[in-house]
Amino acid sequence: MDDRIEKDTMGEIKVPNDKYWAAQTQRSLENFPIGIEKMPKEIIKAFAYLKKSCAIVNFDLKKLPIEKKDVISKVCDEIIEGKLDDNFPLAVWQTGSGTQSNMNLNEVIASRATELLGKDFRVEKLIHPNDDVNKGQSSNDTYPSAMRIAFVLELQKQLIPSINKLKTTLENKTKEFEDIIKIGRTHLQDATPLTLGQEFSAYVEMLEKALNQIDDSMKYICELAIGGTAVGTGLNSHPDFSRLVCENLNINTNTNYKFISHPNKFHSLTSHDGEVFLSGALNALASNLMKMANDIRWLASGPRCGIGELNIPENEPGSSIMPGKVNPTQSEAMTMVAVQVMGNHTTVSISASQGNFELNVFKPVIAYNILQSIRLLSDTMKAFNDNCAVGISANNKNIEKYLNDSLMLVTALNPYIGYEKAALIAKTAHKNGTTLKEEALRLGILSEKEFEEYVKPQEMVRPKI
């Protein structure tokens, strides 16, 4: 493949002839051969939305001629559609402000725009990456704005629908299981009864809370740094630029949330507490998914030597040596996702603490981790829903056996005979391997009629006057 020579303020450098990027992108590509993690496509797409809005606003403010506005907008649309994906090769592990990715966008847009205007970008640039595409902007305000745009788009596109899908399934299961009375468990020990529907209702509430927490975080994430330029002062940017760009973004991105100009640009460049808030909501969701997945795999354990109160779908062989073994693989995948998201939250939290003076320089790793968390949580909930949750059924035989064998039904006797006598019945039954009823009668504490009147599991699953 032939190379061409591109120049920047550092001098000349060879660039692949078939790529639209230029010198600054190439320098980053060569100087940061770190890892395999590339700048997420979601960030590139968000940048394209931002650059398009900036070009439109610069035209409206009479800072950019219409032909440049139109061609920059057209290239941004191509980027949004994924037509230029192979022109964004940079690593996450680059400058902490994301400057090189901002310039990657600027260079690709400038070259492709020049081509659309009928000139060879390898020879001359009719659109300048800094003076035209980056007009009124800095990497310091565009990157944090782009990452927040990406978060909002991916939350709306992926995570929120996945939460709602699983929530609907679990709501249906809650209704399906509402009359199945089972034994509860606390401290991994037998406890008082509840319905299987009540147990599943907790999972529904977990997801409802996740939606609320994500929604709460949006009031911070939708505040954009654009217009702050280098240090928050807005140098080289029009006073109305930030507000107008946000208004244009709201039209172009068509999200359920509204972007606004951050009220304090100094805060927006150096602080990422909004990202910590969002990551915290994702972390809380991961914690709840971990709990739910563990519950379901424990309740489905067996098939003959475990708890076995639930039946889950059998999707694939579970062992290379044990014939017929089937494992709770969707729960296992979900719990692995959960610990990854928890780790990501730690990374985001530490990164956000590193805002020195007027700029935080951990932006790419913050963006990478939050986007990965959104993607993993979205994918695992869809997979868990489709390959596990919808197929969960109750093993009524085991549920009834455990309910009838439980000593904790004795709790229903507390109001009638007191804690001490009830405990004596339970301990004696456990020691002798007998039933509560047998020991209540043998100890002379209750008659058979009284026992059957007081101990009714169906009346123990809700408050009683």
Known binding residues for substrate are 97-99, 128-131, 138-140, 186, 320, 325-327
The answer to whether residue 393 is catalytic is no
**Helices 66-80 + 41-60 axis angle, to 10:** 160
Cis peptide before 328 (omega within 30 of 0): no
Q: How many of the other CB atoms lie within 10 Å of CB of 441? A: 16
Q: Which residues define the annotated binding site?
A: 97-99, 128-131, 138-140, 186, 320, 325-327
Q: How far is CA 63 from CA 44, 66, 69, in A?
A: 24, 10, 10
Residue of 319, 353, 393, 447 marked catalytic: 319
Q: Which of 233, 232, 230, 262 is nearest to 245 (CA)?
A: 262
- Beta-bridged to residue 185, according to DSSP, are 190
How far is Cα 368 from Cα 362, in angstroms, rounded to an integer? 10
> For residue 133, what is the DSSP state?
I
Single out the catalytic residue among 28, 53, 101, 187.
Answer: 187
Q: How far apart are CA 305 and CA 307, in angstroms?
A: 7
229 secondary structure, DSSP code: T
Under 8 Å between Cβ of 106 and 129: yes
Residue 252, Cβ neighbours under 10 Å: how many?
Answer: 18
Residues 6+ apart with CB under 8 A from 352: 271, 272, 273, 275, 276, 360, 362, 366
Asked about 430 being catalytic, the answer comes back as no
Q: What SS3 class is residue 353?
A: coil
Residues identified as active-site: 187, 319
